[in-house]
Structure 1
Amino acid sequence: MTVYLSILLFYGVMTVIGFVSMWRDKRQAKQRAWRTPEATLLTIAFLGGALGTLLAMQLVRHKTRTAKFQLFVPLAILLHATVWILWLRS
């Protein structure tokens, strides 16, 4: 497996984890059950799941009014994109 395929697979898995984590937290919020801590959701986003997190924010309408998520999720996407652009150009 090439490095690029491994990276693509990693981001694919993290995107799914980010989406499912947000969707599950939204469902738990509706049921007033135990919730996933915001720090955990943001950590998943910064570890590569930001795309899935952002998708869930829009599709599931979860955490869209929370300032931390409005700022840090797009920032995580920008950070990862910048790192990969710089790495690919070197």
Structure 2
Amino acid sequence: MELTWMVIGLIVIMNAIGFFIMGADKKRAKKNLYRISESTLWNVAILGGAIGAAAGMKHYRHKTKHAQFKYGLPLLAVIEAGVFVYIFKLLA
């Protein structure tokens, strides 16, 4: 049971980071400041934050013209959701 809560916490944290990192990069883009690299955005997504990053992309309307983000991030989010469901079934 404790492991389940740790996994849930990790997923929530990574997705919150994914969401807010999109917002931070959008804010930096508007102000012409130093940007968060695309590799950092992808690393956060791959490490469990794809759902949050995809939600942040939609919410902030950021990176929506880049095909790799427009199609790749939602696809990765669906894959991660499936992995999360599978993990929770194993832990239950």
Q: In which range does the TM-score fall when normalised by the shorter chain?
A: 0.7 to 0.9
1:43 Cα offset (Å): 1.1
- Matched position secondary structure for 2:35: coil
Identity of aligned residues (%): 35
Gap change, CA 1:59 and 1:85, over 3 Å in 2: closer
Partner of 1:27: 27
Given that 2:63 and 2:69 are in contact with CA atoms closer than 8 Å, whether structure 1 keeps it comes out as yes
Deviation >3 Å, runs of 4+: 84-87
Given that 2:22 and 2:56 are in contact with CA atoms closer than 8 Å, whether structure 1 keeps it comes out as yes
More displaced stretch, 25-34 vs 47-56: 47-56
**Letter paired with 1:14:** M
Partner of 1:5: 5
How many pairs does the alignment contain? 90
User: Which structure 2 segments of 5+ residues have no match?
Assistant: none
**Per-residue Cα deviation, 1:35-81 (whole angstroms, up to 9, x for no partner):** 00111101111111111111111111101111111222122222223
**1:55, 1:82 → 2: CA distance?**
17
Partner of 1:83: 83
Partner of 1:57: 57
User: Which structure 1 segments of 5+ residues have no match?
Assistant: none
